[in-house]
Each structure stands twice: as structure tokens, then as C-alpha cells.
Chain A
């Protein structure tokens, strides 16, 4: 080990975005722990409060601040940093370190880069340098072209082979990739592109249709290089690996294919000079016995997290040890404890990973390709491909998890198989139901026929399931991995009855260990998965045990925040002297690391699998509060099977809270106000019922309305139209229409309840008025946000709710406040998205208090007003979904969040803009707002004008500003078709900021939509809420210089 390393900065990846998610919390946390074991002081920088790595147990000093050069410079000075580990924070951290190197900061402060050197990173990241090296070392690559503004036409003349893929270097999840089919499209694209851009366009020949294979490699300081595992994408080349179904290890590669690619991987990784872990992708052409090198990621990645969980080999940990000077023959394999890290894992099971897309929440195009659109992923583990595949499908918790098929015509299914989209897998099942030949499906889908034959084994069995009969061949069905839920779907017998009958017939899975070595060496690490096989690996521990259920794949509204809760709950259980058992199916998470809980079950979070584990372990209790909505939905079933097993608020009360009418009448009884609402359950009643509610209203439905972004409605006719549409699209489902309280302030109240009282953990005040989904709102915790008197009022309400619903553990209450009156919007008897934010801002481990209270202890804590200001800032995937509006509403759109801290509100706010856009400089602003917001817009404009910011405004707003003596330039709306027009202005001028609030009547927001779309593409921050704009401009105008501090200095 290198003894000169005393204090290391680990850089996290910031807010969760598409292409960069929870996997970096996992790798960063593992890295920090691996460094601290060696006595190295660890300073962590990450702006994302929902992570475990930003917790005191993980690092010595934690900076929850924007991940930026300025922050790093301040930290280097303050903390006496001697080294930086850049490979654990995704592309964000890697890019930041490359930038710091270019700026000369690393050499100025004598900072050592741990792991792969910057020069090597640059080769791997810069496609030109990378391709040059590949040519030099004789590794096969495809042709690529760099087009410049001056000579692109000439180069295009010489391009012979299409299709081509457009790439940009340094990309996250392949952002910016487009497939170009022929010369004409390329010319059109380039003409457009170079009319507004001077940057180089990079194009590659496409390898569409070839097999995509990845290797996860590890190389040490002595040049020893091993392959941790390989991964085979079911989807052929052309689909981003983050969007592909991935099986580990490869199943359709011969020994020669496998070893040829492994040798090539070692060759390339060694030539680049990687130190630590790295991922390499190949395209394999089995027909011609050729392969092509696609790319190298010289850092831990999403694939590393997957490979770690799939193989049991802790990649981030070993990679970190190598980064500080150890070699593979000096590091023990921690899962077996009696073998070395110099060893290639052997698996005796199969894993399948499937992405989870947000198409159930977003009404956008569902096609997939070389850009990432998925938000999360699940992994299924089984002893056969069928079992692994179906366990993964179960874990996804989507509509097709039950049915597997789409129940559409053969033609429709064929169409869905031929054009890549999120339903491809189920379309293959559908075609098999239609009896199509496996080889033909293979040809159409690009999946190897091996997989199709395997899927057909499943279909054959499903066809044999009869209505209203418990299957005679139950064991066979289970051995193929067919879930009880699916058997319920095909037999039409309730799932719970299937489970009961199965258990009565003594059909249970056994649990096998993941040990990196196919049982060749002894391993007592209980990292388990179920399979309907013969023998259990480990025996049961007879101690007091508590199970914590995780939240499964990340999705919109259920993300890494719940993993934070799960991990904290596990450590609380351990500290209470109980055995902690974790169940989760998400390979990206910290909770599925084998050394977090005492026992880890990598299993789908479904009633069936939880029931099997409860049956086996016979725990003291089960905690579902950190499982998001998934656990809540399962509560009743678990109670039916096992009686009183849920710890925390019990299932009966969960039902009383979730069932809107019951909840509402209970609130009435308690004398607590709520917005008026009506439930429309049949079409005949619409006219009469609708008139009984005051406008505006919010239509609440978990269902998306095609192409519409706004769900707040100001007009009876539109309301009528929308409700009718909803009935048409989804007959038989009641629609909830509730009064929208205009200009109310919304707050999230998180609290913990024991049997005697509730303690408020935090009151997070939203900047945006009520109506924006709480997951999308910008929230503030800080001094003087609410009065003492107001807190008392909330405490009374919370106490009433605790008594009435027997709340226990964590709860989250959403309220709207107007003129001092409090209206209840929603109560959730579980942990919330805001809990990690509140915990970081208060410095109190609320999860631990909740676990203790659930187990019957009294809470020893009090409500505390935070000392500093903390702002929770959501981040959105608008760049990924060009067809999605940036206007916020009742449907959640954000993928993650950052926390901005400040000793004053302005200081915290000044950091917010850094989250929205790095290197933000305010020079000019466009203001175009609705009538209601004009007065406030004038206040904002005044401040901007005072700071000599150039203001552009659309005619209505412009007139209003001029009337108020604020200098501005009029620009015309896009639909006015007049010049100077907005779109030209944005394209040709350096616009820093756009403030655009939507009109209330929903018919006229298309113009804003186009404007916002153009802005997003050009990376200009768009503020769609006037209150938020006001707060931001106040801060920007104050000229505040941000100082970056360790979190303890704020708390």
C-alpha cells in the first residue's frame, strides 16, 4: 500500500439522472469504507442527500455541495487533501477530474489521482485517441468520421457504409446519439447542426444487429489483469446497454468466443493503462467470426454494479484497494475469506437484468435505442435462464409482470418486436403464444434463438394452466420460475389462494448462496437467492430476526431515498442486537451489498417471495416502511398469510389511510380540513357531480392522459372533456377530482410516532405553490420558515392522526396552507422521499428513531428548527425526452435531487443555479409570464435591470414591464411568426435564463412548450414557477459568493 496517502477526496455523482443513478452510491460507499479500513481520512463530496455515502458512517467529512471545480478547490485547501479517487462517481466525477487537471489545479496542489491515471482516462474517453490506440495495437474497430463545419460535405461524399451513429464524446448514457440511415439524412442533419453549432460531429459506422458483449475487468499495479465476468445483451447492438436486457454470464458464446474477447479485453485495458476496474464493450459477429471493440469505461459503472451483484465480487472495493497500491495477489476475496481477489468468479446460476422505463408515468414515445431512457433496473437470479428471467420480470412490478404476454394481434406483436421498445420481451412471449417459430422470432427480434427456445418452455407450460384449477404440475411450473402471480392470472384463482395452496402442498424454494466460486470453496456469507432446487446452502439462525423490505427497481417516485431508509434501518436493527435481513431486487443499490445486512436475500419484492422468506426465517417482524408504495400494497396480503407480522403502522390502518373516502370521513370526524373532492365512478353522474365542485381542480389518476401535461383544470367544459376521456380510456375506474387551492403553500411534514406521541422530524416548505407534485417541488428547511405557533398547530393535527390511525414509525403528511388554514392533501404511513433530506439537514438519524419506536421503544428526540437553510432541488430528465413538457404538475417527473446548503437563504439559493447549470453566468433573461404572474415578474425584472441584465419579454409581458418603467426588448412568441422571434433569439444570442410560466387555460400552452423545448436542448435553465424565479433572482442579484462547507458546519 502507498503510505503517502493520508487524506483522500472521493467524488460522488450528484443527483440521480438517467444514465447515472444509485449504482454510484453503491460504488462510492464501498470505496469510502475500503479507504477508511486502511486508516485513510476520507472526505466525500456529493450534492445528493438521498445517498448513503453522504452519511456519517461512510466518510470522515461530508460535503453536500455542488460537484464543481470551485467546490473541490475549497475542499482541497480546507481539508489538506493529498489524493482524489475519481472513478467512483460516474462520468460526473471523471469529467470533473479531467477538468481539474486541465485547469492545472491537480499539479498546483500536488494532488495524486488514485487508480487509473488521467492520461489513460483521456485515451479511453476521447474517441479519437481511443481509436488511434486501437489501430496501433491492432484491435478491430469500426470506421468513424469527424465532421467539421468547414469540410463536412467533402467527408460525407466519401462515406460508403450506412447506417451511421451520431455520437458525442464524454457522454452520459449515450445522450445525443441518433441513427442516420443514408446520405441524404446525414446531409440534412449536418446542415441543421452546423447552422447553430461549431463543434465537431462524431459519427461511427453502425453495428446494428450484432451481439453486444461486455466484460468487467480488473487490473492491478503489477499489470495483472482479470475478467470479473462477462455480460451478454439479449438486445443486439443498437440498443444502449443500459436499455438492454442483460444476462450474466454469457449463454450463447462458445469457449473460443468467450476467450477471444477476454484476451482482447486484457490487451486493450493493459495498453490503456487502467488501474482498477473498467468495463469494455464488444460487438460480436459470430457468423463471420469477427469482433469489434466499441468502448471502454475506465471507471466503475452501472455495469460494474451489476457485475458485482451478479458475481459476488465486490468490484468497487477491490478497485479501491488497487488504487491505493495493493495488488490482486495481496487482497483477500471478502465473500469467501479464504480465497484471493486474484481469481475469476465462476457462477452456478444465471442472472438477468431488465431496465425499468418511466413510460407508465410519462406520456412520451416508447421506442428505445442508443440513448438511455430507463430510470432503474431489476435483476433476477435463478438456476436456469427461465427462472432468472421470470424472477426479474416479477421484480419490475409492471403490468406485464403478471401476464407476460401483451394479448395483442400477431401483427401488432411483430411490429413491437421489430422496432425496439420497452415491450419487446413481452411481444416475444406474445408471438410464442401465437405459435410463431422460434427461429423466425429470433430473426425478427435479434435475440439469439437459444433465448427464444427457453422462453417457449415457459409459454408451453402457461398454455397448460386451466381456469379455476390449481395446477397439478405446480412444482414444474415453479421450477421454470413461473410466479404465483402469473399462475393466478392464467388460472383466475386469487394469488393469495395459490400461495396458500402451494404452501399446504409443501412446495417451497431452497436458498442458494452467491459465493464467486460455484461452491468450490467454502463461503459463509449469506448472500442468497431462491430456486426450486433440492438443497438449502445455509441453515437457519435461531435468533431474533427482523426483515426489511427494499423498494425494488428505481422508478419515478420511488428511488434511492428508499434505499437510504432501508440501509439505515438495517444498521439500526443490528445496533439493537437483532439479526437484520434485507430483501431487494435492485442491483444498483447499497442495500444489496452483501456486507450491509446480516442476511441478504436478492429476491423480487413480491408477496410470493416475501412470504417464502417469512416462512423460512420466521422473523420477529417485517418492516415495510422503506419499500415505498410496493410494501404498502403488499401489507394486507402478508397479514392474511402470517397474521400480525408487520412492524409499524398496521395493514388495517394503512388501508384506512389509502382508501380515499374512508380517510376523508375520518378527517371530518377529527375536524381536520381537506380540499373538497368528488369521486366520479360512472359516466351518467358526470354533469351533476362536476357542478358540485369549485374550480380549479386537480384530476388525480395514476394513469397518464395521452400527450397532456397539465392536470390542473380551470374550466368546467375542459374538465368534462377530460373526465369523459379518462372514462373512455380506462372504463370502470373511478376518477378523483379534488379542489385545487390556489396560491396555497405546500409543505411536507415528516414525523415519527411511538405508542405515546409523535415527533416532527422536519417541515419542508415548498417554493412552488401547492399543485406541483411533492417529488418535483423545491423544498426548504430552515429557520423562520414557519412560526412556532404554526408548528404547534401541526403538532396537534399530527397527534390526532397518530391516535386515529395508530401510526407507528415514520409517516409523511402533505399539507396545503392558505391564510393560516391547514388542508390535508395526503398522509402516507411510511418513509418518504424527503426523509434523507430531513435527516441530513437536522443531523438526526430519524430512521433509527423510527425503527426503535416501531419495536416499542420511546423516542428520545424533539422537533428542532434547522440552524441553516437547506434546499432540496429536483432534477428532471427533460433532455432525454424531447417530447415531454417541462411544466410541473401533479404527476411526478423528476429523477433525483440535490441539496443546497447555506448559512443564509440567499447563499443556499445561489447554489441552486449551480445544480441547474454548471458555469452559470447571468447576462440576459427572457421573461414571458401569464397575467397572474406579471406583477411578480415586474419585481424580478427590476432586480435584473438594476444589475444590468439584458431583459427580453414577449409582447404582453413586455408592455407590462415598460408600463412599470423597466427597460426591455420585445420579442415575439413563436406562434406570432414575427421577428424578432423568440426561437431565433434563443438560437442566436447568449440567453442565460428563461422565466416562463404557463397560462392557466390549458389550450394555449403549446407555444410555451416549443419555447421550453428549444431552451432545454440548448441547456438554458427554464424556470416555470414565478415564486421560484423570484427566490432565484433575489439570490443572484445579491451577488452572493458561495462558500462550501462540511455538512456539520450547517447543522
Chain B
């Protein structure tokens, strides 16, 4: 079945449709990661976005549900160069096409994905439709203005008990499973929805963790979290990743900004000027470096190529967070020291 990718700049590309037969729209972004297709499409940070894999061969190795980063495919749509031929499911017997259908995600294949990457690099992120007809829609809605976190956050409190003594309050703004798995090795984890009654918490916790998630960190729906962090951080350590990094910045009066087209891939180096770490990235917003000048936050790590703030740390309080993904999945484990750091933070808390 023919399908069409329609961009707000007037570009219309024809391809072979697969996955869900319906249509979709969203902000179109690309990832340059060459492996980890299952982890990528199930990452809640992609909510509201149509994803392009710059790497052409996708669904090239067997689909395994254990590798999912959340309970469903989170992207709104998928654009690939060469995925449609391999539907056999390989040795796992699970079919990629069915997987997309079950999550109602339309996909389009046979597309010159490099052309799209070049376009986005030059023009910045674009809004798009994956459509069954080549007609130009009148309006391209901005999905980034939606309350995306509410769509991907858990609806109910969950408790992950571990054999460790310390306990973490984990505010689910769209977390990847790998983060929970990593923290679960350090402490018991209280996972609460994004709209939890933070000022009325009945259980004990030693530290607060803000994970990754989709959309604009400055969204009004996230304001209560920001306020809670600002207040709670006076007494308890706060750590974060990705969207969490941005929310912490906002809590200490820094600012965030939308990037031209963001970082999505597993090959960017972050550095402190001497040491480098190759890390996994997935963010369209970033901490505004200049805005940190009059705050108590510093930026000890940055992206080597474009200087993007990759870590913030509070000068006095035990508050720190990273923009990249130390939990990997997909991507390298160079940032795993972050969890070691959390481990020592937890250890230092007096019982």
C-alpha cells in the first residue's frame, strides 16, 4: 500500500506503507543510532513525534519484547529506508509489522531518510503527516504543546521493593524501564504519577529522582513538579536524567530552550574538557547555558560538538542531573558512573 510522508515545508514523499493502516501526525525527528530499534521506538520521550531512522536496515534482528522500554510503542509514526522486507520476525517468531499494528503506529518505508535528515539539519524540526493520500493538509498541529507527559506517565503509584535499605521517590514523567531497573539495584523505588499529590506524601523516601520524558519542560502541567523539587531539595538529594535534568534546571531558576533539531543518537561525546564519554541522547529541548549564570547551578559536562549542557550540578545542595542517558538502552554504557554517583549519595545519607 502506498503511503505519503507530508512535511510542513511542502515536501511530499511516497513510500510503502506498513504497520497500522491509519494516518498520523507529529513533530518529525531523526535518530542516528544504528542499533536498538526496539528500545528506541518504545522510549516514552518520543511521544508526539514521528521518528526517522537514519540507519537504513531496521527490524534487522529478531524482535524481543523484553527489550521494550515501556509497555507499548511510543512514537506516533515511523519512517524507514529498508524495514518492510523483514517481517518474518526472525528466530523470536514475533512480527514487527504486527507489533506496529497493535500499537496503532503507521509506518512508511523506502524513504530517502538521508534527504530528511539533511532537511531537518538545515530547517530545524518540522511538523509532518503520514497520510494515505498525497494531499497537503491545511494545518500542522504542534504536538509538542500538548500535555505529552500525561499520556505516557503511569496512572498509579507503584512500589519496587529491593533488598537495599534506601528509598527513592521516582516521579514518572515518561520514564524508560532501564532507569527503573538501574535504580532498583541501588534502592527501593516509589514510582508516582506526574500529577501526584507531592505535598502530601505519606511514605518515607531518602532521595528524589526525575527521569526522562517527552515534550517541553516548561509545560504548565509540569509546574507542580518544579515547585516540589525546589522545596524538597533543601532537605533531600535530587537527581535526574534528560527531562529530569531540565526540570531541575527550572527549579533553580535556570531556563530551557527548544533546540534546532535536538540530539538523538548514541554517538555523541560529552566532556568535562579532558575526559570524554560517548553517550546516548534523546532530547529536543536543552538547558540554556547562559541562564545558569545567576543561579546556583553549574554545568560540569557539555557536548563536545555544540556545547549543549549535558549535566547540571548544584553548588551547595546534593542536586545533580544529566541530559544524556546513563541507562543506555540503546547506546553505550560510558555514563554508568552516574549510577555509582547516586549509590554514594544514597550511602552518605544518614539513616
Chain A positions within 8 Å of B, measured between CB atoms, are 222-224, 226-227, 249-256, 258-259, 262-263, 327-329, 338-340, 342-350, 383-385, 449-450, 453-454, 457, 512, 517-522, 533-535, 537
27 contacts between A and B (CB under 8 A): A222-B274, A222-B275, A224-B275, A224-B276, A226-B269, A252-B61, A254-B35, A254-B61, A254-B64, A259-B328, A259-B330, A329-B276, A338-B305, A339-B305, A340-B305, A344-B267, A344-B278, A346-B265, A349-B56, A350-B57, A450-B60, A453-B85, A518-B117, A520-B121, A533-B81, A534-B13, A535-B114
CB-CB contacts below 8 Å: B110-167 with A: 111-115, 117-118, 121
What sequence of 0s and 1s flags, for each residue 248-274 of chain B, a beta carbon within 8 Å of any chain A beta carbon? 000000000000000001111101011
B27 interface contact, C-beta 8 A: no
Q: How far is the CB of A605 from chain B (nearest CB, A)?
A: 25
B228 interface residue (CB < 8 Å to A): no
The interface residues of chain A lying within 8 Å CB-to-CB of B268 are 343
Query: Which chain B residue lies CB-closest to A248?
Result: B34
Most chain B CB within 10 A, of A226, A255, A329, A384, is at: A255
Instruction: Tell me the minimal C-beta distance from A346 to chain B in angstroms.
Output: 4
* Residues of chain B from 284 to 317 with CB closer than 8 A to chain A in the complex: 304-305
**Given A249-B34, A384-B57, A384-B82, A259 and B269 touching (CB < 8 A)?**
no
Point out the residues of chain A lying under 8 angstroms from B54, CB to CB: 346, 348, 518-520
The answer, yes or no, to whether B214 is at the interface (CB within 8 Å) is no
Contact of A255 among B32, B67, B85 (CB under 8 A): B67
User: Which residues on the B side are within 8 Å of A522 (C-beta)?
Assistant: 121
The answer to the question of B88 belonging to the interface, with a C-beta cut-off of 8 Å to chain A, is yes
B333 touches A263 (CB 8 A): yes
Our pick among A259, A329, A450, A533 for the contact of B332 (Cβ within 8 Å) is A259
Complexed CA–CA distance, A347 and B54 (Å) = 8
**Distance in Å from the Cβ of A264 to the closest Cβ of chain B?**
11
Checking A255, A258, A328, A350 against B56 with a beta-carbon cut-off of 8 angstroms, the contacting residue is A350
Minimum Cβ distance to chain B for residue A580 (Å): 26
Find residues 76-94 in chain B having any chain A CB closer than 8 Å to their own CB: 81-82, 85-86, 88, 90-91
Decide: B304 and A340 in contact? CB cutoff 8 A. yes
A343 to B304, CA, bound (A): 9
> How far is it, in angstroms, between the C-alpha of A107 and the C-alpha of B122 when the chains are bound?
55
Whether A342 lies near B271 (C-beta < 8 A) is: yes
Complex alpha-carbon distance, A256 and B121, angstroms: 29
Q: Which 10 A-B pairs have the closest CB atoms?
A: A255-B36, A534-B112, A344-B267, A346-B32, A518-B54, A342-B269, A255-B330, A519-B117, A535-B115, A518-B32
Task: Determine if B55 is an interface residue (Cβ-Cβ < 8 Å).
Answer: yes
B25 within 8 A of A: no
Chain A residues with CB below 8 A from B44, complex form: none
B26-60 toward A: CB 8 Å interface, digit per residue (1/0)? 00001011111011000000000000001111001
Q: Does B237 contact A (CB under 8 A)?
A: no
Q: How far does the Cβ of B78 sit from chain A's closest Cβ, in whole Å? A: 16
A196 → chain B closest CB, angstroms: 48
Q: Does B106 contact A (CB under 8 A)?
A: no
Instruction: Check A253 against B61 for contact (C-beta < 8 Å).
Output: yes
Contact pick for A533, options B91, B114, B273, B331, CB 8 Å = B114
Q: Is B329 on the interface with A (CB-CB < 8 A)?
A: yes
A516: nearest chain-B partner, CB-CB: B267
Contacts of A449 on B, CB cut-off 8 Å? 90-91
Contact between chains at A385 and B57 (CB < 8 Å): yes
Nearest CB to that of B329 among chain A residues?
A255
Q: Tell whether, in the assembled complex, residue A343 and residue B90 are in contact, meaning their CB atoms are under 8 Å apart.
A: no
Given contacts A255-B36, A534-B13, contact A343 B305 (CB under 8 A): yes
Residues A346 and B55 in contact in the complex (CB < 8 Å), given A329-B276, A534-B112: yes
Known contacts A259-B332, A342-B269; A251 and B57 CB within 8 A of each other: yes
Q: How far is the CA of A453 from the CA of B62 in the complex (A)?
A: 13
Q: B273 touching A384 by the CB < 8 A rule?
A: no
Complex CA gap A385/B86 in Å reads 12
| B114 engages A537 (CB within 8 Å) | yes
Tell whether, in the assembled complex, residue B60 and residue A329 are in contact, meaning their CB atoms are under 8 Å apart. Answer: no
A519-B269 contact in complex given A250-B35, A254-B67, A256-B67, C-beta closer than 8 Å: no
By a CB distance below 8 angstroms, the chain A residues around B35 are 249-250, 253-255, 258-259
A262 to chain B minimum Cβ distance, whole angstroms, is 6
Closest to A287 in B: B91
Closest to A438 in B: B88
Query: Which residues in B have their C-beta under 8 angstroms from that of A226?
Result: 269, 276, 278
Instruction: Decide if A453 touches B57 in the complex (CB within 8 Å).
Output: no
User: Is B34 in contact with A329, judged by CB distance below 8 angstroms?
Assistant: no
Is B331 within 8 A of A259, CB to CB?
A: yes
* CA A517 to CA B117, docked complex, whole Å: 11
User: Across the interface, do B114 and A519 meet the contact criterion of CB distance under 8 Å?
Assistant: yes
B110: nearest chain-A partner, CB-CB: A479
In the bound complex, residues from chain A placing their C-beta under 8 Å from that of B115 are 533-535
Give CA–CA (A7, B117) in the complex, Å: 45
List chain B residues, Cβ under 8 A from A262. Answer: 332
Contact of A263 among B112, B273, B330, B332 (CB under 8 A): B332
The answer to whether A519 and B82 touch across the interface, beta carbons within 8 angstroms, is no
Chain B residues with Cβ below 8 Å from A450 are 60-61, 86, 90
Query: A348 touching B32 by the CB < 8 A rule?
Result: yes
Min CB distance A650 to B, Å, is 39
Structural contact, A520 and B117, CB atoms closer than 8 A? yes
Inter-subunit contact B276/A251 (CB<8 Å)? no
* Min distance, Cβ B10 to any Cβ of chain A, angstroms: 15
Chain B residues near A534: list those with CB within 8 A: 13, 111-112, 115
- Partner of A251 from the list B61, B273, B329 (CB cut-off 8 Å) is B61
CB-CB under 8 A from B267, the residues of chain A are 343-346, 517
- In whole angstroms, what is the CA distance A222 to B274 when docked? 7
Nearest Cβ on chain B to A256's Cβ, whole angstroms: 7
Q: Verify A453–B117 contact, CB threshold 8 A.
A: no
* CB nearest neighbor in B for A254: B61
Contact B121 A519 (CB under 8 A): yes
The answer on a CB contact under 8 Å between B276 and A328 is: yes
What chain A residues lie within 8 Å of B333 (beta carbons)? 259, 263
Q: Which residues of A contact B332 (CB under 8 A)?
A: 259, 262-263, 344
The residue in chain B whose Cβ has the minimal distance to the Cβ of A333 is B305
Q: How far is the CA of A563 from the CA of B30 in the complex (A)?
A: 39
Contact B117 A384 (CB under 8 A): no
Bound form: Cα–Cα A521–B61 in Å: 28
Question: What is the CB-to-nearest-CB distance from A524 to chain B, in angstroms, rounded to a whole number?
Answer: 12
Q: Which residues of B contact A535 (CB under 8 A)?
A: 112, 114-115, 118
Residue of A nearest to B81 (CB): A383
Q: Is A457 within 8 A of B85, CB to CB?
A: yes
| Cα–Cα distance between A54 and B54 once the two chains are bound (Å) | 41
Query: Residue B55 contacts which of A223, A263, A347 (CB distance < 8 angstroms)?
Result: A347
Residues in A neighbouring B276, C-beta threshold 8 A: 224, 226, 328-329, 342
In angstroms, Cα B86 to Cα A252, docked, is 12
| Chain A residues closer than 8 Å to B266, beta-carbon distance | 344, 346
Given the known interface contacts A222-B274, A343-B268, A534-B115, the answer about A252 and B60 at a Cβ–Cβ threshold of 8 Å is yes
A residues near B38, Cβ cutoff 8 Å: 254-255
Q: Which of A224, A253, A328 has the most CB of B within 10 A?
A: A224
Query: Please, which residues of chain A bring their CB within 8 A of the CB of B36?
Result: 254-255, 258
The interface residues of chain B lying within 8 Å CB-to-CB of A329 are: 269, 271, 273-274, 276, 304
Contact B114 A346 (CB under 8 A): no
Question: Which of B67, B118, B278 is within 8 Å of A537, CB to CB?
Answer: B118
Residues from chain B with a CB closer than 8 A to the CB of A258 are 35-36
Knowing that A251-B60, A450-B90 are A-B contacts, what are 15 other residue pairs whose CB atoms are under 8 Å apart, sorted by A's residue number?
A224-B276, A226-B276, A249-B34, A253-B61, A255-B38, A340-B305, A343-B267, A346-B267, A348-B32, A383-B82, A384-B57, A518-B54, A520-B121, A533-B114, A535-B118
CB of B90, distance to nearest CB on chain A (Å): 7
- Tell me whether A348 and B117 are in contact in the complex, defined as CB-CB below 8 angstroms, given that A453-B85, A535-B112 are known contacts: yes
Most chain B CB within 10 A, of A253, A345, A450, A522, is at: A450
Bound Cα distance from A673 to B123, whole angstroms: 71
- What chain B residues lie within 8 Å of A328 (beta carbons)? 269, 276
- By beta carbon, the residue of chain A nearest B37 is A255
